[in-house]
């Protein structure tokens, strides 16, 4: 017997409601990164563009907060830094996609849309992204109770140039570039670095990221300061690194040298190098492969509860 159309429609609505009840959507909030004045900023027009979730000319940074359902939340949080050579932000592939995956594992995800270095909008473009990363860590830690986050389990993940930013936040946390009247810790508790730019030195550095961040002719002192393999110390946060040996954009030696510096300083670290993957992992390894290894590392290091 054929059911009436109205019956079929009502049945479909009930199924959808049941799905939403069983699998509640993660809470999502977009908020300005700075509640008031943006530090280091030069007043000018907002020229930000967004084409296919590739964002350019960011001058007004934001946080997009994805909180997992209360039933699955475990208290861990990760600030997400998309890459793009400090020239663009690849928001879907290295932002929203990752936030949703983190939420599936009960981890709060906070996507940082950080300012892209530009003399037109910053007095010192070299510190603009780091200021935004520090402000993100400060905000998440200060609102941890509200968001039901463990303030001792706040990590940062970065891809490509976003990996450079994440590593910079992890190695330069004791130099404060923002207002921090409450002396909130700016140290991420752990770092997840995915095909990261680490060094800005000539031999292995990514020239596009270096030029965008530091300009065409930076001083040797500034290049060394932002070459994070040279800035590791015993208090640098633990790190998970993954890279592909056939990466022709950002050489795998970036991850290798950072890993060696971490181990030399007694900092716990995992590194997973794939023979094939290229830059950005467009086909292989798939997300479940490297992210599954990352979750295992988080469990081993007690940033996630053991299964």
For 184-249, give the DSSP string.
-----SEEEEES-----STTT--HHHHHHHH-SS--HHHHHHT-GGGS--TTSPPEEEEEETT-SS
- Could you state, in order of their start, the residue ranges of all structural domains in the chain? 27-300
pLDDT digits (tens, 9 = 90+) for 171-183: 999 999 999 999 9
In the predicted structure, residue 5 carries a pLDDT above the cut 70: no
pLDDT level of residue 26 (50, 70, 90 thresholds): low
- Position 25 scores a pLDDT of 46
Examine the pLDDT at 15 and tell me if it is beyond 60.
Answer: no
Q: Are 66 and 102 in contact (CB under 8 A)?
A: yes
List pLDDT tens digits, range 201-246: 988 999 999 999 999 999 999 999 999 999 999 999 999 999 999 9
Q: Which of 3-17, 34-48, 116-130, 133-147 has the lowest mean pLDDT?
A: 3-17
Measuring CA to CA, which residue among 32, 92, 33, 90 is closest to residue 56? 90
- 169 and 137 Cβ atoms separated by less than 8 Å: yes
CATH number 3.40.50.1820 given to 27-300: yes
Output the pLDDT for position 202: 87
CA distances from 235 to 150, 174, 182, 268 (A): 20, 10, 21, 11
Element (H, E) at 10: helix 5-22
């Amino acid at each position: 017997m054929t059911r009436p159309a109205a019956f079929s429609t009502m049945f479909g609505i009930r199924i959808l409601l049941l799905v939403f009840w069983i699998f509640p959507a993660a809470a999502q909030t977009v908020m300005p990164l700075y509640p008031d004045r943006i530090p280091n900023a030069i007043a000018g027009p907002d020229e930000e563009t967004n084409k296919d979730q590739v964002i350019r000319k960011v001058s007004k940074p934001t946080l997009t907060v994805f909180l997992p359902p209360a039933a699955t939340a475990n208290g861990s949080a990760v600030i997400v830094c998309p890459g793009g050579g400090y020239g663009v932000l690849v928001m879907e592939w290295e932002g929203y996609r990752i936030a949703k995956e983190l939420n599936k594992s009960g981890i709060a995800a906070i996507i940082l849309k950080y300012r892209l270095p530009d003399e037109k909008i910053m007095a010192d473009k070299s510190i603009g992204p780091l200021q935004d990363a520090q402000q993100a860590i400060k905000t998440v830690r200060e609102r941890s109770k509200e968001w039901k986050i463990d303030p001792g389990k706040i990590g940062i993940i970065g891809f490509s140039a976003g990996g450079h930013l994440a590593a910079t936040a992890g190695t330069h946390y004791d130099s404060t570039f923002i207002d921090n009247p409450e002396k909130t810790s700016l140290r991420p508790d752990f770092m997840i670095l995915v095909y990261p730019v680490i060094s800005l030195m000539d031999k292995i550095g990514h020239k596009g990221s270096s030029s965008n961040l530091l300009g065409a002719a930076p001083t040797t002192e500034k290049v060394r300061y932002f070459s994070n393999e040279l800035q590791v110390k015993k208090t640098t946060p633990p790190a998970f690194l993954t890279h592909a040996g056939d990466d022709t954009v950002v050489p795998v030696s970036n991850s290798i040298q950072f890993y060696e510096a971490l181990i030399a300083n007694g900092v716990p670290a995992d590194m997973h190098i794939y023979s094939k993957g290229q830059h950005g992992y467009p086909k292989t390894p798939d997300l479940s492969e490297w992210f599954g290894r990352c979750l295992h590392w988080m469990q081993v290091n007690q940033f996630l509860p053991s299964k």
